[in-house]
Homo-oligomer: A and B are copies of this chain.
């Protein structure tokens, strides 16, 4: 797990991390990574596509899918587990957790003290090699919670 790193630092070290992963550094990849590193919104491929079209009109949605999938497989992005059909990506790869709004599908990061090992050590007899874990909270974000009041 990486240490906390600023968005700027992640963008700066991006080419180097691509090289290590055996990936070429293209403008599409730079734009997509920079967008995700600067975002708190955990965008889906469609949203990434929409937001980069201005800067890169030739971009295709299929390319966005291919790139985020590669980034995810090489550990540059996390894919957030959700109950919805659409994929959501996060450039933060340090240990943190997610709040998922059941009303609007907004996703927020949440940072909690490290879980004690007794919480994340699987019971003996569990035949599963865990590589990572995260807490997923479901509930209402501030906007949807406020709406529900009325």
Q: Could you tell me which A residues sit within 8 Å of B by CB distance?
A: 79-83, 85, 87, 99-102, 108, 110-113, 115-116, 118-120, 122-123, 126-142, 145
Contacts and interface: CB of A to CB of B under 8 A. Distances in A.
A136 B136 contact: yes
Copies of this protein, total: 2
Given A113-B119, A136-B134, A139-B132, A83 B85 contact: no
Contacts of A145: 127-129
A80 B82 CA distance: 8
Nearest to A88: B83
A84 B108 CA distance: 19
Contacts of A87: 83, 85
Contact of A137 (B83, B100, B133): B133
Given A81-B82, A101-B128, A133-B135, 16 more contacts: A80-B83, A81-B81, A81-B100, A83-B87, A99-B126, A108-B126, A108-B128, A110-B128, A111-B123, A115-B119, A128-B141, A128-B145, A130-B137, A132-B138, A133-B137, A135-B135
